[in-house]
Structure formats: C-alpha cells, structure tokens
A and B are shown apart, each in its own frame.
Chain A
Amino acid sequence: MKEITYINPVLLIAVPLALAFIIPILKFVWEKSIKWIPVAGFLFDLIVSITLIPIVLQKNIIVKIGGTTTPFSINLVVGPAGLLLSIMISLAGFLVAIYALKYIQEGDKTKYHILFMLLLTGAIGVVLTGDIFNLFVFFEVLCISSYALVGYLGNRAGIESSIKYLIQGSIGSSLLLVGIGLIYGQYGTLNMADLAAQIKTADSISLFVPMFFMITGLGIEAAIFPLNSWLPDAHSSAPSSISAVLSGIAIEVGLYAMMRILFTIFAAESFMGFLLFLGVITLLIGEMSAFSQNNIKRMLAYSSIGQIGLIVFAFSIATASGLSGGFFQMISHTLNKALLFLATGFMIYRTGSMEISSFRGLGKKMPLTALFFTIGTFSIIGLPPFVGFASKFLIFKAALAKQELLFIILIAVIILTTVIEGAYFFRIIQTLYFKESDDKSSKQESAITALIPMFIFALLILILGIYPNWIMKFIHSAASELLNKMSYLRSVLG
C-alpha cells in the first residue's frame, strides 16, 4: 500500500510553541503584529488538523519523537479522538484569538498572547500524547498558563481565584505524579499503549491506588464534583476570552485525559458505575449552584460544572453510543460555552458589571450580541434545532439503550437539572430582552472583531444542530477508538 504523505502532527505542537517563543523578540521588532500571532498559529493548527482527518479515519498516526523504538521514546498517537479534540482546541483558539484582538485592552498584552497560545498548545499536547509522563508535562503547561491567565487582570477577584486554583491544581499535579510513579514502579514503562498491554484490566489494589491518584489529579482539572471548587472562582474571575477557553477547552481536555487513562490503560469497567453517579451528582450540584446566581460569569461557570457532569455521565455509560454522545456533548459544550462567554465578555465590558440585573435592555442596545447569547443559551439547554439538542438526544438515547431501571432514574435526575438549567438561562433571556433599562443611551454593539467569532460559533451551533450527521462518522470512530483498547494497542505497538 502506498504511504500517504501528510503533515507531521508534531507540528501541531511545535509551531505554536515556536511562535510563542518568538513573541518576546517580536516585541522589540514589530509590536503591532503580536496579537495576530495566535490567530496565525491556531489557523495553521486548524488547517493541519483538518487535513489529517481522512488519514486518521483509516488508521491512527503514530508520531515518533526523540527515538525510533516505540515504547522507549515518546509517541504522539493521533487517533480520531485526539484529533477531534485538537480540531476543537485549534478552532476555539483561532476564534478566541480573533476575539481577543480588540477585547484585551489592559495588562501586558504580549504576555497575554503568549500565555493564551501556550494554554492551548498544552491542551493539544495532552490530547495527542501517547506517553503518560508527557501527558503530565503538557498538563502542567496547560495548568500553569491557566493559573497565570486567571490572575492576569490583577484585580482582587482574579488574584484570589488564581491562588486558590493554583493550590488545588498543584496538589492535583502532585497526586498525578505520585500515580505515575506508582505505575512506573510496577510496570517499568511510561508508554500508554505498553502499559495497557501489560494491564489487562484493573483488578488488584496495587492497580487501583495509582488509578485513584491519577483520577484525583486529573479530576481536579476536569472539575468532577468534589474536586471542582476552584472552577467557579477561576472561570468567573478570568478575562472572558480566557473563561471561554477554560470552560470550553481546559476542563474537557482534563476529562479526556482522565477517560483515556481509565479506558485505555486501566480498562476499569467496574469503576464506571461509580463515575456514572459522580457525573450525575456533578451535574446536579453544578446546575443547582448556578440556579440562584446573580453574577453571570459565575452562573456560566457553574453551568460548565453541570455540563461536565453530563459528559462524565455519557462517557461512563461505556458503550459506543454513550461515548459518541459524550464526544458530541463535548463539541456542543465547547461551542456553546465559548459563545456564551464571548458574548458575556462584551456585555460586561459595555455595562461594567457582572450582575445579571445590569443587563436589562441589552437586547436593544447590542442586538447581535444578545442574539448570539440567546442562541448559545437555547443550545445549552438543549432546544432544537441547535447543537445542544443533538448531543443531549444522543446521551439520552445511549442511556436508555441500556434498558436498566438505574438509567431511567438517573435520566429523571438529568431532566430535573435541565429544568433548573432552563429556569436560570431563560431568566437571563428575559432580562436581556424584556426588561427596560434605566439609561436610554443608544446602540453600543460589540466590536466587529468580537462579532465575527461569535457569529461563526453561532453558525456552527446551528449547522451542527441541523446536520449532526456531518460529524457523526468522525465522532463514532473517535468513540470506538477510545473504547477499543486492543485496536489502540495494535496501532501503537504494531
């Protein structure tokens, strides 16, 4: 068979890294161009990722780094699941970078752009890597840049949230490292496929303990219920463009890493039942906490917790359709939450307040922003014809296909949370459109560079909502890749 030539996926990581390293020099040479660097970098990533789709659909691409023999050097394993997330990351990165052209006005802008790029590069590294310690390193890249970005604005809230996030996050990384150490000590390898080949399934306590450590460590970034206390603070205090990325990308990447470890390395099917409950509890707690919030960003942050709970639930069903639902929900959550945070960003910027009550009458003043916000809300509640409906539909379908009473009860709980979700989101819509504002100033639409990414997100929400079939093939193969341990092994170890 003829070898197909393709762009080496390692460039997905290397190019943004190189660009990030160039930025400090550019500051002395050509300062104006700096803010375009992230745009260029993620556009490159987006294009490369998309060109890789047809190849990856046939077989996983194994990228060797620093050596040729497989378990001994680091691999990138570009499978459908990883590529799917990498496309989402570069898409969100690209659009949010465009948004940030105008949005970021204060602080050291150069540093903002560097941190932003590295945040998403770390995320791409996490989803593509096939090595457990490499995952840790990129995870740290992701985490540290998010600590810095949360505190970027330098206000009281930002600093406080950032330090709290940092403490919890570093505990998480230490726990993850302990877990990696325990695994390495027993199996003497760090390659995920090699580990997976040696661990048939998690059965003894000496396997469960490292698994618990790693789950706790990754779970902190993935914002599973008792580990997510940092999230509402961090997401509400960061600049909105960063909240969009943190909510839309960072926690999902954490979740993906966790699921990759659970499914591929440990194959811990018995643990999935527990995660099922954990997901539903996360969902419940998130939505209930969001219910009576008056701070819009905090509300959106809690809603992210809820959505993550739903994704965890979907993954824990541990069937192909459940995983498809989970991946679809990830996509939909990325699009929805990014759109919501971006729109919120400019609404806060114009009104100068995060209180929902201060958004009265914005539907008139910033009609397009409000419209996009509305689309985002409808989608996140799961109303057709938006993408959120398709994802919730898939999850419900997958859960009901199990035909167990347990799932029906859990779904009843999910319905309750959706109702709560609907209640608080529709309240915002009413505030936007149907409450008169006090001041009668004229239109103050968002900047055009902010409207373009919002428009693209909204368009994607609508298109994927109406034609979800377009990506279903990709999502199915992503799901089967994540679920099917053996094919992963074969593709890496040959």
Chain B
Amino acid sequence: MDFLYNYIYYIGAFGLILIGLYILLVKHNLIKMIIGLSILETGVNLFIITLGYLDNGTAPIFSKENLESNMMVDPVPQALVLTAIVIGLAVLALALSLAIRLYDSFKTLNLKKIKEQKW
C-alpha cells in the first residue's frame, strides 16, 4: 500500500511516457505518431505535477476560509505545466496541419512510404 501510495503517480506518468515513446518508435502512421506525442506530453505533464505534491496539501489558492499557506502544494510545477500544455497544443495543431498537407501531397500517411528526403 505504501509502495502504491508513493509510486502510483510516477507509474502512471512513466507509463504514459513509455507508451508515447513506444508509439513514436514503432508506429509509422503519422496520425498515430502525433497521438503518441500527445500521450508523451500528457505523461510529462503528469510527472511534473507529481513532483510538486505535498501530503495532505491543499490547492495553492487562498479563499475566505483557507488562508493557511504552509500546507499548500507547490504552485510552480502547476505554472510550468500550464505553459507546457499550451505549448503541446500548439505543436499538435501544427503537426496535424502538416499531416493534412502531407496527405494532400503524398496521398498516404505511412511514413515508411514517404522517404523522398533522405541521404
């Protein structure tokens, strides 16, 4: 139980990173690879948030009731992840638009068949 408590989030995050990278390594459909990227990014975000967790902590927001500051979880990873999520969205959108254009030009999304640029 203790082990689970300590590691379950890390397991989730590393699992996502592993699966994302695995998709990127093995799959050759472009959309699939982009899905892999998105999973990878989610994993990284989860990992960073996990770093800032505090046992029995509260969200880093002061309200009328909660003015106690020393049990708040670390706000910095949250700020970082907020940024990272948006950046991830930007990259994904760009990647998908490129995928559309790629399909227009090559009529396939199989990257094994798209090898004009090599050597």
Q: Is the CB of B116 within 8 A of A156?
A: yes
Complex formed: what's the CA distance from A137 to B87 in Å?
8
Complex formed: what's the CA distance from A137 to B102 in Å?
27
Q: Give the size range of B's interface with the partner.
A: 20 to 34
Dominant SS among interface residues on chain B: helix
CB of B19 closer than 8 Å to a CB of A? no
Q: Is the CB of B117 within 8 A of A157?
A: yes
Complex formed: what's the CA distance from A406 to B116 in Å?
40
Task: Tell me whether A170 and B91 are in contact in the complex, defined as CB-CB below 8 angstroms, given that A151-B101, A177-B44, A181-B47 are known contacts.
Answer: yes
Task: Tell me whether A160 and B102 are in contact in the complex, defined as CB-CB below 8 angstroms, given that A167-B37, A174-B40 are known contacts.
Answer: yes
Q: Is the CB of B47 within 8 A of A178?
A: yes
Task: Tell me whether A157 and B41 are in contact in the complex, defined as CB-CB below 8 angstroms, given that A177-B48, A181-B48, A184-B77 are known contacts.
Answer: no
Complex formed: what's the CA distance from A170 to B44 in Å?
12
Q: Which of A164, A166, A178 touches B91 (beta carbons < 8 Å)? A: A166
Most buried by B among A137, A160, A171, A184: A160
Tell me the residues in window 48-63 of chain B with beta carbons closer than 8 Å to chain A beta carbons. 48, 51
Complex formed: what's the CA distance from A147 to B99 in Å?
13
Task: Tell me whether A147 and B94 are in contact in the complex, defined as CB-CB below 8 angstroms, given that A137-B83, A178-B44 are known contacts.
Answer: yes
Closest CB of chain A to B85's CB: distance in Å?
11
Q: Is the CB of B106 within 8 A of A163?
A: no
B116 — which chain A residues lie within 8 A by C-beta?
156-157, 160
Complex formed: what's the CA distance from A470 to B60 in Å?
53
Q: Is the CB of B40 within 8 A of A171?
A: yes
CB of B73 closer than 8 Å to a CB of A? no
Closest A residue by C-beta to B99: A163
Complex formed: what's the CA distance from A155 to B98 in Å?
11
Tell me the residues in window 157-208 of chain A with beta carbons closer than 8 Å to chain B beta carbons. 157, 159-164, 166-167, 170-171, 173-174, 177-178, 180-181, 184-185, 190
Complex formed: what's the CA distance from A159 to B117 in Å?
10
Task: Tell me whether A144 and B51 are in contact in the complex, defined as CB-CB below 8 angstroms, given that A163-B30, A178-B17 are known contacts.
Answer: no
Q: Which of A157, A162, A180, A237 touches B98 (beta carbons < 8 Å)? A: A162
Complex formed: what's the CA distance from A185 to B54 in Å?
12
Q: Is the CB of A181 within 8 A of B105?
A: no
Complex formed: what's the CA distance from A177 to B84 in Å?
9
Complex formed: what's the CA distance from A442 to B17 in Å?
60
Complex formed: what's the CA distance from A190 to B40 in Å?
22
Most buried by A among B20, B21, B44: B44
How many residues from A make CB contacts under 8 Å with B? 35
CB of A385 closer than 8 Å to a CB of B? no
Closest A residue by C-beta to B92: A170
B80 — which chain A residues lie within 8 A by C-beta?
133, 180-181, 184
A173 — which chain B residues lie within 8 A by C-beta?
87, 91
Tell me the residues in window 1-32 of chain B with beta carbons closer than 8 Å to chain A beta carbons. 17, 20-21, 24, 30
Interfacial residues, chain B to chain A (CB-CB below 8 A): 17, 20-21, 24, 30, 33, 37, 40-41, 44, 47-48, 51, 76-77, 80, 83-84, 87, 90-91, 94-95, 98-99, 101-102, 105-106, 114, 116-119
Interfacial residues, chain A to chain B (CB-CB below 8 A): 133, 137, 140, 144, 147-148, 151, 154-157, 159-164, 166-167, 170-171, 173-174, 177-178, 180-181, 184-185, 190, 232-233, 236-237, 289
Top 6 A-B residue pairs of the complex, sorted by shortest distance between their CB atoms: A185-B51, A233-B117, A181-B48, A163-B98, A156-B105, A159-B101
Inter-chain pairs besides A147-B94, A184-B51, 9 sampled, C-beta below 8 Å: A137-B87, A151-B101, A157-B117, A159-B98, A161-B117, A166-B91, A178-B17, A185-B51, A232-B117
